[in-house]
Amino acid sequence: MNVPDGINEEEAYKVIMRVAKRLAPKYVFATYEVEDIEQEAFLIGVAGLEKYDKSRPLENFMYTHINNRLKTFKRDNYYRLDYGSAAQKIQDRKKSLLEPINLDALYNICTPNNTDIEAQLNEILQLIDEKLPPGLRRDYLKLKHNAPLPKGRKAIIVSTIKKIVNGENDEEG
């Protein structure tokens, strides 16, 4: 343990353990027990000794440092066990928004005589304009011009455009 000058190792150990025991019950979640969180808090406290400012009392510094790091620990390691719930479906929708559109699929729907990239993109936009359902047109135009759009509506538009581009939305046949 790298202890700053003016504090002995035993005092620092006691302060860190006291703060860890006080904060641990507040951050128990999922499969983590109180003892697991205490251990994590102790390790966070030991690592935080390097940043300790001697102008503050050690216990106050440790409380703030460990509390903030435990919040981050819980946020980064928390997961839901209830797969298939509405919350999981929302998470899946968010993940699908992050997946890039397959550009090869975009270029495959263009006619072969359009070799210029701008012409191909114009042809794609024209195809989307033709096949987009009328109820989505207003939101599509907002999206096209980078206007604010609720995430749910954006997800619907992106999903519909993917279907159009991949040829899955051919209802006019």
Provide the pLDDT for residue 173.
Answer: 40
Q: In b/e form, how buried is each residue of 34-68, taking b as 16+ CB within 10 angstroms? A: eeebbebbbebbeebbeebeeeeebeebbbebbbe
Read off the pLDDT of residues 4-51 as tens digits, 9 standing for 90 and up: 777 888 999 999 999 999 999 999 887 788 999 999 999 999 999 888
Model confidence band, residue 70 (pLDDT cutoffs 50, 70, 90):
very high
**Best CA proximity match to 12, nearest among 55, 42, 56:** 42
In the chain, where the domains are located = 9-77, 86-165
CB 69 within 8 A of CB 44: yes
State the pTM of this model: 0.47
> Which structure tokens are listed for 46?
């030991």
